[in-house]
Structure 1
Amino acid sequence: MTRSFRSLQIVPYRQWSLAQLLSGSGGAASIVALAWLVVDLGGDGLALGVVTSAMMLPTLLLGSFAGTFVDRFSRRSVLLVTATTQMAVATTLAAVTLAGAETLVLLFALSLAHGLAFSVDNPARQLFVLDLVGRARITSAVSMNEVIINGSRVLGPAVAGALLVVAGPGWCFAFNALMFIPSMVVLTRLRYLPNVQEPASAVSSPFHTPGAGAGADAHRAPATELLSPWQFVVRTGAVRSTLLLAVGAAASFNIAVVIPLVVADVFHADGGTYGALAVAFGLGALPGAVFSATGPLVPRAGEVRALAVGLAIAVIAAAAAPTLPLLFAGMALVGGASMWFIARANAFVMLTTPNGIRGRVMGIWAMALPGSSVITGLLTGILADATDPRFAYGIVGVCTAFVVSISWRTLRSR
């Protein structure tokens, strides 16, 4: 547990973490309200897939290009711009909904606008954490970031469930807009990043070859940095396989596509039940994120492989849940497995990538997770309409297991 929370020793990171908890809670509340609003407007699985996937479309198309901004400009300045943009979109969405002027086309357009800002915000936010805590604490920080995200997945849906019953979805969007203010305050005050000092031996280089001298290792990383980010991903088998598995994790994580249909069509429940399922997902994810910080400082490929197997099993079990109480348990299990995998896989890719292309490679990571949910969301939505929403979600687990099987050799630890 001491290792898990060691990143919180950095004061600016603690301030940023609290701001992200509030901001993430607003975002989670908005996602719950948006999904239910689509259903309330008469949308089906395809409509849910289109609207929710619109947020990720720019990330899928522009992920690597967006990473260029992260490599070339101040992460703090980039985050200020993206937070301001997302706050403006949330305010517009709240005003439109409260005025009763919402339509599926308008929801799609505003989701797309939010996605444009998010495509740059996501890699910037991940590397801003590295700027704050340093390399030796990055595994702890990534895991704590997942704790924060999933803490917000408990608070946000809880707020959304209450607001949906008492006031309506428009106030969920207004709540989201207000929650961007703490992040903007922290970024404005944090004019200079902390000077994080760490011993050279704190984290061994992922390019170090056992038995090789320091000179050999020193020449290897710069040579790798000359590769384009896509060349690096293609040539590094473990990173390539991890990115493919991240696609499956994104599909399992994107419960806003099929779970509302499971709630409404299979169990004939209301929006409060869907909000409670989202809370169960977040509660299960919290210990998964904490456990992810207890492993080695540099995650291993074999560890990523084992966690992916666990995620596939959890998704299949949740999809097969025959009763609502078992579905709650299954959602908690998926939340824990997905967060454990995502945190370790994220840190593995980040620490395996050379400095010069890290922002662009993390942009590719964003294309895989969550950007790929544009495609997987549409496919699962169509499949849910054609067959059954539980069957569609179970296919996500089956596909994840298949990717693990074909990547078994490249994801062995050395």
Structure 2
Amino acid sequence: MFWEHLRDRFTREALTRSFQALRIRDYRRWSIAQLLSGTGGAASQIAMAWLVIELGGDGLALGAVTACMMLPTLILGPFIGGLVDRYSRRSVLLVTAVAQMLVAGALAALTFGGVLEIWMLAALSLAHGVAFAADNPARQLLVMDIVGRERMTSAVSMNEVIINGSRVLGPAIAGILLVVSDAAWCFVVNTLVFIPSIVVLLSLRLRPVVPDDDALDAAPALRAPGAWRFAVGTPAIRSTLLLAVCAAACYNIAVVIPLIVVDVFDGGGGTYGALAVAFGLGALPGAFFSATGPTMPRSSEVRGMAAAMAAAVVFSAVSWSLPMLFVGLAAVGAVVMWFIARANAYVMLTTPAPIRGRIMGLWAMALPGSTVVTGLLVGSLAEATDPRLAYAAVGIVTALTVAACWRALRSTD
């Protein structure tokens, strides 16, 4: 069965299906803008993680800075998702883009001025996180507004290709800048790349989204009980969200990989940037081939990719050489992105339209919002024991979660 599914990914029909969303001009323009903003964001994340180390921080400090960025998503996810159900996605994204530009500019100014401290990084990460909490569900639903339901799986997968293209370009740019100049220039890049997104948002031709008043009355946007009931009461959705928490921990290499670079391999910022590039290079084909699957993702595929994700993380954790770690992180990138693309589309397309924004708010709580908890746990374990042991624990917990969710994710299609 597995080999039949794999073979089906390489048929002409499957490969054509991968690019359906790119036939729409507005989606192509939006994709280019997202590639640029994602590149700046990835460069900024590399710079922030490395600055924590340079400022004398440890694994707990790395986890804390990451936690500050994701805390608003964890706390506010479904509530902000309710607002996205009610209001224009374009308006929400314009506000969040401007807010993130201001945060990036502040980081650049403080770093250039030589006055940046870890608590400032944490505070600005929290400010960025508030904007990101609204940005994430609005961005996903804007894509559906642009391409329509029939091209949604292609769009979600292509979006992962774009995100991970930025995970190649961003760390590569950050690695060069960290070697030849200063981390502040990463923040300058991140400030400037929001301009194309704002321009494209202002020029998109979108049909107005009319809220379902009855649904909103039954499940008020600021309380969202309908979303919680649906997620908890639907075993496949509940299990997918649990696995998304595991994927967030696997994905969040910024907490543990810098410590592995320094403590295990005695490397520097360039080595860390190169490992992040390896992760992104692996993620590109993973996201691309996720788009070759059927328009409606299968729940059994979600669980299969989650199992592969656990195995790849454990392999990376036990790597005894840098070349082996490069290969391992590329494998992690491939299977994590394959999982995220298919699981994201599965949750979105199996959710009723009136509560889709709130459910995607729950998805954002799980991935990446849960890194508030997982980042602190993994960072603390890495500091108390060994960073490789901490990353191995992520893979083991993921494998146990897959086993617990196996029956709930048995495909009925």
Counterpart mapping for 1:5-404 below 5 A: 5-190=19-204, 192-193=205-206, 228-404=226-402
> Under a length normalisation based on structure 2, what TM-score does the superposition of the two structures give?
0.92
CA deviation after TM superposition for structure 1 residue 288, in Å? 0.2
> How far apart are the structure 2 equivalents of 1:313 and 1:143?
22
Residue 202 of structure 1 is matched in structure 2 by none
> How far apart are the structure 2 equivalents of 1:66 and 1:280?
34
> How far apart are the structure 2 equivalents of 1:54 and 1:2?
41
Q: 1:374-412: per-residue Cα shift (whole Å, max 9, x none)? A: 100000000001111011011111111111111111100
SS in 1 for 2:18: coil
SS in 1 for 2:407: coil
> How far apart are the structure 1 equivalents of 2:153 and 2:134?
22
CA deviation after TM superposition for structure 1 residue 194, in Å? 6.4
Unaligned runs of 5+ in 1: 196-221
> How far apart are the structure 1 equivalents of 2:118 and 2:47?
13
Q: 1:259-300: per-residue Cα shift (whole Å, max 9, x none)? A: 000001100001000000000000000000001011110111
SS in 2 for 1:291: helix
> How far apart are the structure 2 equivalents of 1:178 and 1:92?
13
Report % sequence identity: 67
Q: 1:64-115: per-residue Cα shift (whole Å, max 9, x none)? A: 1110111000001100000000000000110011000100111100000000
SS in 2 for 1:2: helix
> How far apart are the structure 2 equivalents of 1:2 and 1:182?
28
Which aligned runs of 4 or more in structure 1 are off by greater than 2 angstroms? none
Kindly indicate whether the alpha-carbon contact (under 8 Å) linking 1:12 and 1:194 is maintained by their aligned counterparts in 2.
no
Aligned length: 385
Residue 205 of structure 1 is matched in structure 2 by none
Unaligned runs of 5+ in 2: 1-14, 209-214, 220-224
RMSD (CA atoms): 1.1
Which amino acid counterpart does residue 410 of structure 2 have in structure 1?
A: R
Which amino acid counterpart does residue 317 of structure 2 have in structure 1?
A: A
SS in 1 for 2:329: helix
